[in-house]
Amino acid sequence: MTASMLEVTDLVAAYGAVQALKGVSLSVKRGEIVTLIGANGAGKSTLLMSICGDPRPRSGRVVLDGAEITQRPTHEIMRMGVAQSPEGRRVFPRMSVLENLLMGAQAQGHDPGPELEKVFALFPRLKERQAQRGGTLSGGEQQMLAIGRALMSKPRLLLLDEPSLGLAPLIVRQIFSAIRALNETEGLTVLLVEQNANQALRLAHRGYVLVTGRITMEGTGAELLARPEIRDAYLGGGH
């Protein structure tokens, strides 16, 4: 047993000829919320996807809870207890909300009933809309659905890609408090990618800054929030 849930070492990944990650190393301890901040195109989403084996890393290592998963096919990695709410939400548009959620548990082989109740308790909105097609939901509801679907698999490690993107501040607060609650009550380990650095750093235990495919800074959430270069680059004047 290691204390580390996810250990990424010198990860290099690319889409076609475009090298998106140029040797990234980071670690997420069990029960920790870690956030990865960075500008558009820094490689944040590529990192989350390539932890899941899509695209397969060109080099480097990804170790999940002591087991190397670097070259495993995506579906096997996901069955080992990783779940992702990906960039763009990727809700199945022509499936009902309920079916979308059931898809989350399907490959894991456990009874979806208890997880479904938890997700509905977390996002009552999804319960109201369970018969509605995924494609007809509003952006915020789709975000809840994507997160709920990821939770349905009872993950050990939850990867969240920009859960706040395009959402009203009220809904963002709701989603962030849901993540905190899951982490505190169930010990869920979370790796969170955000452009909304301010809130993400407040939520996270630790954070990393990714700039054009490389980690340039790391520290606790409070430390990073206090750094002037972070304030200038990612927090902007608008917050």
Partner 1 sequence: MAYALQQLINGISLGMIYGMIAVGYTMVYGIIGMINFAHGDIFMIGAFIALISIVMLISGGFMEGPAALLLVLAISMAFTALYGWTVERVAYRPLRGSFRLAPLISAIGMSIVLQNYVQISQGARVKPLEPQVTGGFEIMRDGNFVVQLSNMQILIIVTTLAVLAIFTWLVTKTPLGRAMRACEQDRRMASLLGIDTDRTISLTFVIGASLAAVAGTLYLLRYGVIDFYIGFLAGVKAFTAAVLGGIGSLPGAVLGGLLIGLIETFWSAYFSVQYKDVAAFSILALTLIFLPTGLLGRQEVEKV
Applying CB under 8 A, which residues contact partner 1? 52, 54, 73-75, 78-79, 83-84, 86, 90, 92-95, 99, 102-104, 106-108, 135-139, 142, 149, 153
Measured from the CB atom, the residue of 75 and 239 that comes closer to partner 1 is 75
Phi, psi dihedral angles at 131 (to 5 degrees): -90, -10
Q: How far is the CB of 84 from partner 1 (least distance, A)?
A: 5
Measured from the CB atom, the residue of 57 and 86 that comes closer to partner 1 is 86
Instruction: Say how many Å lie between the first and final Cα of the chain, rounded.
Output: 41
Q: How far is the CB of 159 from partner 1 (least distance, A)?
A: 9
Q: How far is the CB of 201 from partner 1 (least distance, A)?
A: 26
Q: How far is the CB of 80 from partner 1 (least distance, A)?
A: 9
Measured from the CB atom, the residue of 139 and 236 that comes closer to partner 1 is 139
Measured from the CB atom, the residue of 43 and 140 that comes closer to partner 1 is 140
Q: How far is the CB of 121 from partner 1 (least distance, A)?
A: 21
Measured from the CB atom, the residue of 110 and 202 that comes closer to partner 1 is 110
